[in-house]
Amino acid sequence: MISFIKPFNKFEWMIAIRYLRSKRSDGGISAMTWISLIGISLAVFALIATLAVRSGFRTEFVNTILGANAHASIYNSPYINNDGVIVSGFSNYDITTNEISKIKGVLSVSPVVKGQVMANANGQNQGVEVFGSKLSDIKKLPLIATPELSKGSIENFDKGIAIGSGVARSLGLEIGDVITLISPDGVKTAFGTSPRISGFEIVYIFQVGRYDIDNTRIYMPLKNAQIYFNREGRVDEFEVMVNAPENIDDIRFALISSLPNGALIWTWRDANGGFLNALQMEDNIMFIILSILVLIATMNIVSGLIMLVKNKSHDIGILRTMGLTEGSILRIFFICGAFTGVIGTIFGVIFGCIFVIYLDPIFNFINYISGGGVWTAEKYLLSSLPAELRTQDIFKACALSLGLTFFITYFPARRAARMRPVEALRYD
C-alpha cells in the first residue's frame, strides 16, 4: 500500500509549489489553478453567506416571537354560568396567577385582556389588536420595553396607551395625540348593541422590527381594558414567561395540572412550529444544493491535477529512479491539489465573513441603484435582512470544502504515484 500518513517533507513541498508556479509552456497549469481557486472561493463564500442569512432569519424570528410575545398562553373555552350567560376568561385571576407562579421554571405570569377593535385618527381607520396588561408585565417583554426604536416613555403607560410604530405612521399619530378605539361589542340597549367608542392619549410608540406587530398592536392598562371590553373582574388569559423557552414543552404538564378545569395552554412552539419546521427543511435543502456547488468547484481541481500528472509524467519517472517512493509522489501531487483547495477556502471564508458583516450597507446600496423594492418590510415582516455569523456555520463550510478537496485530490495523486518509471520514460 502507498504510504500517505507520513508527514510531508520539505522537498515535497518545494516540488509541489514549483509545479503550481510553473508556466503552461513548461507543462504547468497555472490558469487551471486560478480557475479552481476562484471557483472554490465563490462556492465557500456563497455557502457561508447563505448559512449566515439562514441563521439570522431563525434567530430574528425566534427573538421577536419571544421578545414581544408570551412563551405560553393559558385560556379557556366559553361556557355557560349558573345564570345561563355565556362567559369566558378567568375570575379570581390573582389566585390563579400565584398558583402558576409557584411552578418551577416559570419566570412570570401576566393576566391579560385581549380584543380586536377599529382605531381611528385624522380621518384614517385601521384594525388593531388591543392587549390589556399591567405596566410591570409590559416591562417583562424585552422588545416592547426596549425596542429598536421608541418615542415617549413606557413609565407613563398608566396614563394612556402604547401603540406600534406602524399604527402611528398609518394614522399620523405622535406622542400626546388622542386615538379613538371603536369596539362593536359595546353597550347592550333595548335597541341592540351599540358600539363602544373611547379616546385614549398616546404616551409610548414602539418599533420591534416585525411588520405584523408594529402595524397591529396596541397596549392598554389592564383596568382600562377591563372596563372598555366589559371584563370587570375578569381576564381573558394568562401569558406565561419561562426561564427556558426552547424547552417550554418540559413544563407543559405542570402548567396544565395547576389550571382550573377546562383551561387550555398554547405555547409559542404551537403557534410557530409549522413555520420553524418549514424553515429547517428549507435550510437543509439549501445546504445540499450549495454542497453540490462546492463539489463542482472542487472537480476543477481534479481536472487540473490530471493534466498536471500527464504533463509531468517525465518528471515522475526521473524522481522515481532517483529513489522517491510512491508515498512521496502521492504527497507531492496531493499538495498541488489540496493547496489550491485550502487557499480557495481561506479566501471564501474571508470574503463570506466580510459580506455578512457589511450586509446591510451592501443591500442598501443595491436597493439604491435598483430604485428600491429589493427588501420590503411589508412583504418579509422584517425591517432589515437578518444575518448571524456563527462559528459552527463557518466550520461547517470549511469542513465541507476541505473534505471534498482532500477526498477528490487523493485519486489523481494516487494515479501519479502508481505510474511506473519505465512507462513514464519509455518514449524519451
- DSSP string computed for 305-359: HHHHHHHTHHHHHHHHHTT--HHHHHHHHHHHHHHHHHHHHHHHHHHHHHHHHTH
Please report the pLDDT score of residue 322 as a whole number. 73
Please report the pLDDT score of residue 199 as a whole number. 92
Please report the pLDDT score of residue 352 as a whole number. 92
User: Beta strands 79-80 and 192-207: pairing type?
Assistant: unpaired
Q: Do residues 408 and 333 make contact, with C-beta atoms less than 8 angstroms apart? A: no
What are 40-60's pLDDT values in tens digits? Answer: 899 999 999 988 888 887 877
Statement: residue 32 has pLDDT above 80:
no
* Average pLDDT, integer, range 158-169: 92
Please report the pLDDT score of residue 8 as a whole number. 67
What are φ and ψ of residue 205, in 5° steps? -125, 130
| Stronger pLDDT, 417 or 147, i.e. the higher one | 147
Cα–Cα nearest to 226, from 135, 113, 117: 113
Least confident of 55-59, 99-103, 154-158, 376-380: 376-380
| Stronger pLDDT, 193 or 45, i.e. the higher one | 45
For 303, what's the count of Cα atoms within 13 Å in the CB-facing half-sphere? Answer: 15
Statement: residue 357 has pLDDT above 60:
yes
Amino acid type, 110: S
Please report the pLDDT score of residue 102 as a whole number. 85
Q: 3-class SS at 64?
A: helix
What are 316-338's pLDDT values in tens digits? Answer: 777 777 777 777 878 888 888 88
For 369, what's the count of Cα atoms within 13 Å in the CB-facing half-sphere? Answer: 5
Statement: residue 261 has pLDDT above 50:
yes
| Stronger pLDDT, 245 or 65, i.e. the higher one | 245
| Stronger pLDDT, 179 or 330, i.e. the higher one | 179
What are φ and ψ of residue 202, in 5° steps? -90, 120
| Stronger pLDDT, 227 or 3, i.e. the higher one | 227
Statement: residue 120 has pLDDT above 50:
yes
What's the pLDDT band for 36 if we cut at 50, 70, 90?
A: confident
Statement: residue 85 has pLDDT above 60:
no
Please report the pLDDT score of residue 353 as a whole number. 92
Please report the pLDDT score of residue 94 as a whole number. 84
**Which cell goes with 81?**
354560568
What's the pLDDT band for 425 if we cut at 50, 70, 90?
A: low
Q: End-to-end alpha-carbon separation of the chain, Å?
A: 29
What's the pLDDT band for 194 if we cut at 50, 70, 90?
A: low
| Stronger pLDDT, 167 or 315, i.e. the higher one | 167
Least confident of 171-175, 223-227, 296-300, 373-377: 373-377
